[in-house]
Chains A and B, each alone.
Chain A
Amino acid sequence: MGSGAQSFHFPPKGTNPMATTYTRKNAWNNGGTFSNLDLLWYAKGVGKMMSRALNDSASWWFFGAIHGEYVNPNTAWYPKPAAFPAWKFIKPGPAVPSTPLPTKANQDLYWNQCQHQSWYFLPWHRGYLLALEAQLRKDIISLNGPATWALPYWNYFGGTNGSQFQMPPAFAAKKLPDNTPNPLFVTMRYGPDGNGNIFLPTAAGVAAHPGDPNFSRGQVNANAMNNDLFTGSDQVTKPPGFGGPETGFAHGGGTSGNWENNPHNLVHVYAGYYGPVTAPFYGLMSDPGTAALDPIFYLHHANIDRMWALWNASGHPNPTKSTWLKGPTTRKFVMPGTNGQPWYYTPDQMKDLAPLKYTYQELNVPAPPAMAALPKRLALLGATGATAEAAEPAMPKETELLGASEKPLKIKGRVTAASVKLDTKIRNKTRKSLAMAAASETTAPDNVYLKVENVRGTFDATVLSVYVNLPEGANPRENPQYLAGNVALFGLRMASIADGQHAGEGLTFVLNVTPVIDALHLSHSLDVDALRVSVIPADELPENADITVGRVSLYREGF
């Protein structure tokens, strides 16, 4: 760290000089209503920020545009002809302004900065939350609120038996206790049922609603917490790693990190979602260009941030490469400070909570699973003695294409299927490696990944469940053994714009299909020329939903 970094300080000047460490608390405290004063003051602070003009760097709208925007008609991603999700087409409340635009210099400095599908995803958002929290705290203090206020978080995995999968009720109330409009209420927040009831199909949610079709959609889970690599892959971490792929400045497009993919992307899409299927509209949370206008955004990201800290506390390190520590060279991360001056930051400064002077109410490191995934797999494949303590997961020696579809796909109807043709020689290589794992304790079996490439379109608000070799006509909900994974199309529209910041390549998803391939191998069914991949949207798509997949491919990773 250079001399400049030593003079870095947080919290910002002008907030509470007495406070040493702020504690972000669970939004579900006191039932998640306005009896939770953190939420009441959040609402008041948001209201004050919303009262400012779009071109004021302390306004709610300006902060929303820092993440991403559809308000400047001169950007490549502004809809042409003008339509939703352009901000002037957003249904109030809140009443989102589309003028006056800030100067071009201010837009170029601050706006459209969010890092997605990148190893900068977590540190960029940590800095973003800190800057917003500082502005809110300043406003809350000016309203005679507590100087110790900190941003609450929505722990959708929390509560007794995971009961907090429902959005805290304070966000659904139209009025504050004093009967004034609630700034936390958003009309265009549809939820999975399209009716404003915001819940997430977590494992706990499903368990609490057995047989309920509303909870049968692709699950939000925290499985990526079992990853042991921030970037890259090994025997227990699928590519591109917990924190995301190594990139430069990346404002969307490409492959999400495992933690970004699920739960982050799925929570965005389920909270936003869409209403009647003929409408062109979808919820604000479903698109990075509107998401940060919704106050629930910051509680979701506080939880993502909290669980990154937990992942670190569980002994998993952040990258140490200087290209991560220093941040991208082509554009610096910068937020408006509470004094109106730009505040620049690097991932190096964001990697640890303690120097940033905040913590979380819940930072308990979870107990490790009774049996780690790798010995469990080896035992399944027949390796004797595999139940012993897991060895250090091996790093891949080679990654190669195993098979691919021959035509692009258009996602429509209930099921879209692709035939992924396998290369015989490489398939046999994988079969051999699986067979060897049973015979020798020292041979590491291949991992196999499904890659859904160049997904493009304009409809971000859906979750796709991807199955491998699901028998034709079988009910996917009753056959989870064929499930490769669930992916949410958060960021699809922006990533598909030819002159956008990812040249229109769209989104790419990597799913771990090793368990499905293991099962095929064990049932002697892997000796096939092609595998059937089924893509199933969580709900019927609107008629105007335009989603295509460039290629579906399979990769083997040899160790």
Chain B
Amino acid sequence: MIYNAREWARLRNAVLAVSVIAWIAILLQPRVASCCSVNGAGGSWRMLIAANPPRALAIDWALMLVAMMAPMLVAPLYHIRISSFARRRLRSIALFVLGYGAVWMAAGVVIVAMQLAASWRLPQSYLPAIMAGLVALVWQASPLKQRCLNRCHSHRPLAAFGFAADLDVLRFGATTGIWCVGSCWLAMLFPMLLSEGHFIAMAAVALLMFCERLDPPRTPAWQWRGFGTALRCVALRPRGPDPLTAGP
């Protein structure tokens, strides 16, 4: 790559700033802070829809996406930046975000519908969250999850000129979005099904998803992933033999 450490740092800081602003916005909105918590839970389906207008749900969902997903987009955004002519960079990044966001918004229809259905049928119950959590754990350890993660790391060569360049970044955004949804959809659903503690669960899930992207791609297999790096990130590394003294 034609890597420029200063440009990387500038882009990373900008993306992290956007994420932090979204987290603050979530904290300032009690409704979103409770992870798009559903109003009118336990009433009729009509009541539920009336109390949760699609527009409000879409805005809440989009805010969650920006907060949780933006830090994972530094690498693809940098790839676009260095692969595009300087005057096209913003436009290319916007098209990537459009493609990526469209996929996640479409996935959001299904995920939020599952959340609404759970609130409607089992109001205030932990059962849906427990079930989603268990399935998410199985998914987290599965080879398919690793396959999705590996694809998230892949950065295709991009066309540089004209309509082909626009189409390429849009497609790159959509493709990255598809693999990202495949990797993270269950982890996103879990905090939304909790009747309390949403915000903490959301933050924990965001940390796990960020950390699992720090690990390099690997052969798909059944194994835990992300937790070790996440523990190291929060400096809770389990104590063991000092690696440097365990010499030959």
Contact = CB atoms under 8 A, between A and B. Distances in A.
B53 interface: no
Contact of B217 (A13, A240, A404, A499): A499
A426 B85 contact: yes
Nearest to A395: B6
A246 B5 contact: yes
Interface of B: 1-5, 7, 82-87, 146-147, 150-151, 153-161, 164, 214-221, 229, 232, 242-248
Given A9-B247, A76-B219, A550 B1 contact: no
Interface in A324-348: 329-330, 332, 334-339, 341-346
Contacts of B3: 232, 239-240, 245-246, 255
Contact of B161 (A246, A400, A404): A404
A504 interface: yes
Nearest to B151: A503
18 contacts: A4-B243, A10-B247, A75-B219, A329-B229, A330-B214, A332-B243, A336-B248, A338-B248, A341-B246, A341-B248, A343-B247, A346-B244, A398-B86, A451-B2, A501-B218, A505-B155, A550-B156, A553-B83
Listed from nearest, the 7 A-B pairs whose CB atoms lie closest are A337-B248, A550-B157, A4-B244, A344-B243, A404-B160, A12-B248, A503-B153
Contact of B248 (A77, A339, A502): A339
B157 A330 contact: no
State the main secondary structure of chain B at its contact with A.
Answer: loop
B159 A406 contact: yes
B9 to A, nearest CB: 11
Given A240-B3, A254-B1, A503-B153, A343 B248 contact: yes
Contact of A408 (B157, B217, B244): B157
A399 interface: yes
A511 to B, nearest CB: 11
Contacts of B219: 74-77, 499-500
Nearest to B162: A406
Given A400-B85, A423-B85, A449 B216 contact: no
A338 B158 CA distance: 49
Chain A CB within 10 Å — which of B3, B7, B218 has the most?
B3
Contacts of B153: 502-503, 505
A327 to B, nearest CB: 10
B244 A255 contact: no
Nearest to A408: B157
Contacts of B215: 330
Interface string A302-327: 00000000000000000000000000
A401 B247 contact: no
A134 interface: yes
B1 A508 contact: yes
Nearest to A344: B243
Interface in A254-290: 254-255
Interface string A2-18: 10110111101110000
Contact of A341 (B87, B242, B247): B247
A498 B154 contact: yes
A10 B248 CA distance: 9
A454 B156 contact: yes
A232 B8 CA distance: 12
Contacts of A9: 247
Contacts of B157: 408, 453-454, 550-551
Interface in A110-136: 131, 134
Contacts of A12: 247-248
B244 A5 contact: yes
A10 B147 CA distance: 41
A338 B248 CA distance: 5
A315 B198 CA distance: 55
A239 B82 CA distance: 13
B86 A400 contact: yes
A453 to B, nearest CB: 5
A555 B156 CA distance: 18
A251 interface: yes
A550 B159 CA distance: 10
A88 interface: no
A248 interface: yes
Given A239-B3, A337-B248, A503-B150, 13 more contacts: A2-B244, A12-B247, A13-B247, A75-B219, A239-B1, A330-B216, A334-B243, A335-B248, A337-B247, A404-B161, A421-B161, A503-B151, A510-B2
Nearest to A117: B1
A489 interface: no
Nearest to A500: B217
A426 to B, nearest CB: 7
Contact of B242 (A4, A330, A453): A4
Nearest to B242: A4
Contacts of A341: 246-248
A382 interface: no
A386 B164 CA distance: 44
Contacts of B146: 499
B1 A255 contact: yes
Nearest to A401: B85
Contacts of A542: none
A249 interface: yes
A77 to B, nearest CB: 8
